[in-house]
Structure 1
Amino acid sequence: MSTTDPAPSAPATAPAAEGHRGWNILVWPALVFLTVLFLFPFLQTALRSVTEPGPENYAIFVDDPVYLRSLVQTFLTALVVTAAALLIAYPYAYLMYRSGPVAAGILTLLVILPFFTSLLVRTYAWTVWLQETGTVNSALMALGIIDAPLPLMRNMLGVTIGMTHSLLPFMVFPIYAAMRRVPPSLVPAARSLGATAAFTFRTVFLPLTAPGVVAGALIVFVMSLGYYITPALLGSPSNSMLSELIVNQVEQQVQFGVGSAIGIVLLALTLAFLFLGTRLVGFKDIVTGGR
Structure 2
Amino acid sequence: MMRFGERLTLLPAALLVLAMFAVPVAFVFAEAIFTPGFSLAHFDRFFSRPVYLSVYLNTLVVSAVVASICLVIGYPMALFIVSQPPARRPLLLFLVLVPLWMSILVRTYAWMVVLGREGIINGALQWAGLTDGPLTLMFTTGAVFVAMVQILLPIMVITCYSIMTEIDPTLVRAARICGASGLAAFRKVFLPLSMEGAITGWSVIFILSMGFFIVPALVGGRRDVLLGNMIVNQVGQANWGFAGALAIILLVSTIVLLGLVRLVMGRFVYSPREAQA
Q: TM-score, normalised by structure 2?
A: 0.91
Matches of 2:35 and 2:140 in 1, distance apart? Answer: 34
- Which has more radius of gyration? 1
Question: Is this contact kept in 1: 2:117–2:136, CA < 8 A?
Answer: yes
Unaligned runs of 5+ in 1: 1-15
Matches of 1:71 and 1:149 in 2, distance apart? Answer: 32
Correspondence 1:262 to 2:246: yes
Question: Is this contact kept in 1: 2:29–2:244, CA < 8 A?
Answer: yes
Please show how residues 84-103 of structure 1 align to structure 2 within 5 Å. 84-103=69-88
Q: CA deviation at 1:148?
A: 3.2
Question: Is this contact kept in 1: 2:167–2:272, CA < 8 A?
Answer: no
TM-superposition CA deviations, 1:113-165 (whole Å, max 9, x none)? 01221111111111111112111111122112223333323122111111111
Alignment correspondent of 2:27? 44
Q: CA deviation at 1:282?
A: 4.3
Alignment correspondent of 2:164? 179
Which one of 257, 267, 270 corresponds to residue 273 of structure 1? 257
Please show how residues 208-219 of structure 1 align to structure 2 within 5 Å. 208-219=193-204
Amino acid at match of 2:4: R
TM-superposition CA deviations, 1:19-46 (whole Å, max 9, x none)? x433322211111111122111111111
Alignment correspondent of 2:108? 123
Q: CA deviation at 1:246?
A: 0.6
Q: CA deviation at 1:196?
A: 2.0
Amino acid at match of 1:240: V
Which one of 90, 109, 124 corresponds to residue 139 of structure 1? 124
TM-superposition CA deviations, 1:153-205 (whole Å, max 9, x none)? 31221111111111112211121122112211122222233322222211111
Higher mean C-alpha displacement, 51-60 vs 107-116: 51-60
Amino acid at match of 1:35: L
Question: Is this contact kept in 1: 2:100–2:154, CA < 8 A?
Answer: no
Matches of 1:290 and 1:60 in 2, distance apart? Answer: 48
Question: Is this contact kept in 2: 1:212–1:289, CA < 8 A?
Answer: no
Please show how residues 102-113 of structure 1 align to structure 2 within 5 Å. 102-113=87-98
The 3 A distance-change label for structure 1 pair 217 and 101 is: same
Matches of 1:175 and 1:144 in 2, distance apart? Answer: 41
SS at match of 2:169: coil
Matches of 1:274 and 1:29 in 2, distance apart? Answer: 27
Correspondence 1:70 to 2:55: yes
CA RMSD of aligned residues (A): 2.0
Q: Find runs of 4+ consecutive structure 1 residues off by over 6 angstroms.
A: none
Alignment correspondent of 1:25? 8
Which one of 177, 181, 201 corresponds to residue 196 of structure 1? 181
Q: TM-score, normalised by structure 1?
A: 0.87
Matches of 1:246 and 1:138 in 2, distance apart? Answer: 36
Matches of 2:179 and 2:133 in 1, distance apart? Answer: 53
Which one of 145, 149, 161 corresponds to residue 134 of structure 2? 149
Matches of 1:50 and 1:84 in 2, distance apart? Answer: 37
Q: CA deviation at 1:266?
A: 0.7
Which one of 26, 43, 58 corresponds to residue 43 of structure 2? 58
SS at match of 1:195: coil
